[in-house]
Amino acid sequence: MAVKKLSESFPKALIEEVQKWGGMKQNGVSLRYMMEFGSKPTDRNLLISAQFLHKELPIRIARRAIELETLPYGLSEKPAVLKVRDWYLDSFRDLRAFTDIKDPKDEQAFTQMIKMIKVRHNNVVPTMALGVQQLKKDSNPKIMYSNLDEIHQFLDRFYMSRIGIRMLIGQHVALHDPNPPPDVVGYIHTKMSPMEVARNASEDARGVCLKEYGSAPDINIYGDPNFTFPYVPPHLHLMVFELVKNSLRAVQERFVDSDRVAPPIRIIVADGLEDVTIKISDEGGGIPRSGLPKIFTYLYSTATTPLDEHSNFDSTDAMTMAGYGYGLPISRLYARYFGGDLQIISMEGYGTDAYLHLSRLGDSQEPLP
Kindly tell me if the per-residue pLDDT of 140 is higher than 70: no
Name the residue ranges covered by the structural domains of the chain.
Answer: 1-179, 193-359
148 pLDDT band, cuts 50/70/90, is: confident
Kindly tell me if the per-residue pLDDT of 314 is higher than 60: no
Residue 79 sits at the vertex; the CA angle it makes with 78 and 84, to the nearest 5 degrees, is 100
User: DSSP assignment of 252-318, as one string?
Assistant: HHHHTT-SSPPPPEEEEEEE-SSEEEEEEEE-S----GGGGGGGG-TT----SS---TT----S-HH
What CA–CA distance (Å, rounded) separates 34 from 329? 25
Prediction pTM value: 0.90
The CATH class for the domain spanning 1-179 reads mainly alpha
% of residues, the chain, pLDDT over 90: 72
| Number of neighbouring beta carbons within 10 Å of residue 128 | 24
72 pLDDT band, cuts 50/70/90, is: confident
Give the H/E segment covering residue 357.
strand 351-359
- The DSSP 8-state label assigned to residue 3 in this structure reads P
pLDDT at 9: 65
Q: What is the third-level CATH fold of 193-359?
A: Heat Shock Protein 90 (3.30.565)
Q: Calculate mean pLDDT across residues 165-183.
A: 95
pLDDT at 49: 96
320 pLDDT band, cuts 50/70/90, is: very low
Kindly tell me if the per-residue pLDDT of 122 is higher than 50: yes
Kindly tell me if the per-residue pLDDT of 107 is higher than 60: yes
pLDDT at 143: 58
Q: What separation in angstroms does the CA of 145 have from each of 5, 158, 324?
A: 27, 21, 18
Give tens-digit pLDDT for 180-193: 999 999 999 999 99
pLDDT at 291: 86
What CA–CA distance (Å, rounded) separates 45 from 49? 6
Residue 113, amino acid: M
211 backbone φψ class: left, alpha, beta (φ>0; ψ -120 to 50): alpha
* Mean predicted lDDT score pLDDT of the chain: 88
- Taking the CA of residue 154 as centre, how many other CA atoms within 13 Å lie in the half-sphere pointing to its CB? 23
308 pLDDT band, cuts 50/70/90, is: low
